[in-house]
Amino acid sequence: MDISVRDLQKVYVTHTGEEVVALQDVSAEVGSGEFVSLVGPSGCGKSTLLDIVSGLTQRSGGDVTIDGRGVSEGAATRHVGLIFQKPVLLPWRTTFENVYLPAQLGREPAGRGRGDALRQRARDLLELVELGPFAEKYPWELSGGMQQRVAIARALLLEARVMCMDEPFAALDEFTREQMHLELLNLWHAQGFTAIFVTHNIFEAVFLSDRVLVMTPRPGKVVAEVEVDLPRPRTSEMIGSDRFGENIRGVRSVMQEHWVA
């Protein structure tokens, strides 16, 4: 599914009554099946943008459509999978039960037939993220990286066509993060969803994406788009290459251009 954002605006009113413009005139297009990153410093509104696209927050102005249909708060949940920085697994549920959770929620939770199919899908997804043997374990028995993989499996349960990821690997160590990058890309290749990935890590953005959207803060705006010039599928060997470095420099120079202001 493609995503279209036009002249998006988000204004918050603080408890003291003043207005804070988090996003102003934000426009972006994401093609179906594309992997796009949003990069920018803290406070540039990239998480807010993601919240609006995924239906968690209401926009103040402008348009957001997914596959041609307008997105509003609470409405777009079925097609959109969300992954946060913290895995947010429920500790009283096993790994399997955590992946299965989305099937039990919403206005029409899965009944018998659909439930069985979704249970099987949950098991398959756990195998896919290589956590099959851990299905009956509890979250506290898993490492941070493993918990995040459970969160990814959960996000894929209801066959999301759009995956919104908000700095999902920021809390992981470097080695785990590299591993997760490759796993995420494998999943993306296999499932074909459209991916919006928020990060403040330029290396991560370049390694994962087709395009990098650069944002600046106050008010939040997409100021530039950088095409990533690297072949698919991405491999770890690419990381130290000159070509990779050029891509990094490309993004950095765009950011510097817009930061001085």
Interacting residue ranges for other proteins, rule: CB under 8 A: 54-56, 74, 77-78, 82, 84, 86, 88, 90-92, 101-102, 104-107, 109, 138-140
Give least dist CB 59 to other proteins, A: 16
Rounded to 10 degrees, the C-alpha dihedral 67/64/153/97 comes to -110
* Residue 231 CA neighbour count, 13 Å, CB half: 5
3-state class of 92 per DSSP? coil
Give least dist CB 165 to other proteins, A: 12
Preceding omega of 102 cis (within 30 degrees of 0): no
Give least dist CB 226 to other proteins, A: 29
Nearer Cβ to other proteins, position 91 or 231? 91
Nearer Cβ to other proteins, position 75 or 117? 75
Nearer Cβ to other proteins, position 101 or 248? 101
Nearer Cβ to other proteins, position 71 or 212? 71
Give least dist CB 182 to other proteins, A: 26
Give least dist CB 123 to other proteins, A: 19
Nearer Cβ to other proteins, position 91 or 111? 91
Residue-by-residue DSSP string for 227-255: E----SS--GGGGGSHHHHHHHHHHHHHH
3-state class of 82 per DSSP? strand
Which stretches does DSSP call E strand in 54-175? 61-66, 69-70, 80-83, 162-166
